[in-house]
Amino acid sequence: MSARVTWIGLDELRASLQSLPADLVDAATPLVADTAEDAAAEIRAAYPARTGRLRASVRVVTIEGKTGAVSRAVRSEAPYARFYESGWVAHGSRRHIPGKHVVVPVLMRRRRQLVESLIGVVEQAGLDVRR
């Protein structure tokens, strides 16, 4: 017994599937960039304005991956940013100064928002997302 299957539109389907990653990257890139810039602005606003150096040290850095995908990283580059975030012991007095914990909560919240936006992009491309 033999069977025969004729698939109409297979070439079009293959072409669509091959272009899907590039289309998704194109749709996701501005979302990632905007989220990083928004997070950086929120961190700057939460930092004290005493000298302005801590605020001025917040940067959005572009990282290019091997596959051509582009990501963003938000960094607080002041040498003392870690102490502001985590806290420290004042020299000589052994008094503990608690950290302010600005960066991590902002980035976690913004990352959750970004994931929801990216799920929307994937669903608009016709894929089902299970949570």
pLDDT tens figures, 67-77 = 667 789 999 99
* Model confidence band, residue 85 (pLDDT cutoffs 50, 70, 90): very high
- Tell me which residue range forms the domain holding 109: 25-124
12 located within any domain: no
Does residue 30 lie in a domain region? yes
Q: Within a domain: residue 5?
A: no
Question: Is residue 111 situated within a structural domain?
Answer: yes
Q: Residue 97 domain-assigned?
A: yes
The answer to whether position 61 is within a domain reads yes
Residue 41 domain-assigned?
A: yes
28-32, 57-61, 92-96, range with the lowest pLDDT: 92-96
Do residues 74 and 80 make contact, with C-beta atoms less than 8 angstroms apart? no
Count of structural domains, the chain: 1
Question: Based on the number of CB atoms within 10 Å of its own CB, is 33 exposed (0-12), middle (13-18) or buried (19 or more)?
Answer: middle
The answer to the question of residue 3 being in a domain is no
Residues 4-26, buried b or exposed e (16+ Cβ, 10 A)? eeeeeeeeeeeeeeeeeeeebee
Q: Which two tokens stand for residue 72?
A: 């963003």
Higher pLDDT, 47 or 10: 47
